[in-house]
């Protein structure tokens, strides 16, 4: 996978969540993917577990959006990261996901995030360059 393909894969997750299409988001993950927020604040193993988590409770997918701010990828190790803002009604989190890719799909997703009402630019505290 190259850098552009990695960006497209992460965008598939964001688009699936933002469109209310949890199946599309889950299909970006390998069958046995591990999704974790250390130290096990969240831990899901397998695409079907992720689909259920992305769908949320009830008959309709839960409303949520994700916006990527920065994405980087190392093709040699097939590892990258994305800095994001994630929202659900009444909640907003800014964070970073460290992602390992195998055979073109997300094999592991490790996220670190903070809840904040601030816009991303304010949350970043003047550390954004460019």
Decide: 95 and 124 in contact? Cβ < 8 Å. Answer: no
pLDDT digits (tens, 9 = 90+) for 5-48: 999 999 999 999 999 888 999 999 999 999 999 998 999 999 99
User: Listing from the earlier edge strand, what are the strands of the sheet with 29-37?
Assistant: 42-45, 29-37, 105-115, 91-102, 79-88, 65-74
Tracing tokens 């097939």 back to the chain, one arrives at 78
Q: Which domains does the chain have, with CATH numbers?
A: 3-117 (3.10.450.50)
DSSP for residue 62: P
What is the per-residue pLDDT for 127? 86
> Alpha-carbon distance 24 to 97, whole Å?
18
Asked whether the whole model's pTM tops 0.85, one would answer yes
Q: To which H or E segment does residue 54 belong?
A: helix 47-55
């Amino acid at each position: 996978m190259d850098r552009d393909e990695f960006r497209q894969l992460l965008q598939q997750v964001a688009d699936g969540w933002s469109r209310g299409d949890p199946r599309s988001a889950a299909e970006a993950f390998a069958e046995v993917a591990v999704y974790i927020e250390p130290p096990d604040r969240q831990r899901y193993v397998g695409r079907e577990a992720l689909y259920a988590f992305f769908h949320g409770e009830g008959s309709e997918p839960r409303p949520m959006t994700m916006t990527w701010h920065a994405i980087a990828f190392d093709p040699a190790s097939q590892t990258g990261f994305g800095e994001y803002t994630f929202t659900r009604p009444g909640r907003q989190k800014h964070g970073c996901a460290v992602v390992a890719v195998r055979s073109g799909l997300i094999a592991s997703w490790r996220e670190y995030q903070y809840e904040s009402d601030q816009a991303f630019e304010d949350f970043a505290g003047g550390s954004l360059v460019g």
